[in-house]
Amino acid sequence: MFSQASASLTNDIRLRDVTEGDLPIFFEHQCDPDANQMAAFPPRDRDAFMAHWAKISSDESATNRTILCDGHVAGNVVSWERDGKRFVGYWIGKNYWGRGVATRALSLFLPVVKARPLYAYVAKRNVGSIRVLEKCGFTICREETESLEPPADGVEEVVFRLGPNEGAEAR
Ligand SMILES: CC(C)(COP(=O)(O)OP(=O)(O)OC[C@H]1O[C@@H](n2cnc3c(N)ncnc32)[C@H](O)[C@@H]1OP(=O)(O)O)[C@@H](O)C(=O)NCCC(=O)NCCS
């Protein structure tokens, strides 16, 4: 599944706007059982998936990008706003894991989404995603993590933050 040895491979990673034609590829990526297990996120069926992307594509507060690896669609990185907070998320197709794609893609995305603080929710067991966030400068946000409801599904989450705490500049 994941090869440490391949993490040092260098590929040409770019971001571009999401096109209609990318969605079936994203759909396949999010159907992968290993990815679902890793992200602690169940797959959506095709209709629900397309409806979700229709919604986030028309959300003016959202910023969504397709990740290209050597010109091929390797995944997506997205940002949205909820309850006055800005979040980031990403999903890489399994064929592209372990090549530094997520780290490079998130690094390229951070200057695009300039709002700070920027939050990411991640399953505690998702060590790969936690490492991606840490490599991009995110740190664990203890106050947000402690305020999470106990997980009904048993999957514990942690919250990471990039940038100063809300209101910190005003104090
Ligand atoms: C988690 C995920 C984003 C990682 O993407 P990736 O492109 O393979 O990550 P990178 O190659 O940039 O790896 C970054 C670091 O994480 C480590 N890493 C990545 N996956 C790992 C894994 N499964 N186990 C252990 N370490 C892992 C790498 O070794 C690297 O660390 P290093 O530079 O210290 O060696 C990808 O597996 C994925 O999309 N999974 C399914 C969806 C998901 O979990 N999305 C995030 C939800 S919060």
Mutate which of 15, 132, 134 for ligand 1 pocket (most atoms within 8 A of beta carbon): 132
What is the pLDDT averaged over residues 69-91?
Answer: 97
| Ligand 1 centroid from CA 11, angstroms | 15
Query: Which ligand 1 atom sits closest to the C-alpha of 130?
Result: 16
The whole-chain average pLDDT of the chain stands at 92
Identify the band that residue 4 occupies on the pLDDT scale cut at 50, 70 and 90: very low
For 48, 51, 57, 121, the CA distances from 129, given in Å and listed in that order, are 24, 26, 24, 10
Q: Which value, in Å, is the radius of gyration of the alpha carbons in the chain? A: 16
Average pLDDT over residues 116-126: 97
Ligand 1 atom closest to residue 121's alpha carbon, by position in its atom list: 48
Q: Would you state the pLDDT for residue 159?
A: 97
Nearest CA to ligand 1 atom 25: 128
Compute the C-alpha angle 48/96/52, nearest 5°.
15
**Residues 81-115 pLDDT 10s:** 999 999 999 999 999 999 999 999 999 999 999 99
Ligand 1 atom 14: residue of nearest CA: 132
Please list every protein residue whose CB sits less than 6 Å from any atom of ligand 1: 2, 4, 7, 35, 38-39, 89-92, 97-103, 122, 126-129, 131-132, 135
- State in Å: Cα 155 to ligand 1 middle: 18
DSSP assigned state of 149: P
User: Residue 126 pLDDT more than 70?
Assistant: yes
- For 152-170, how does the pLDDT look when each residue is reduced to its tens digit (9 = 90+)? 888 899 999 999 875 444 3
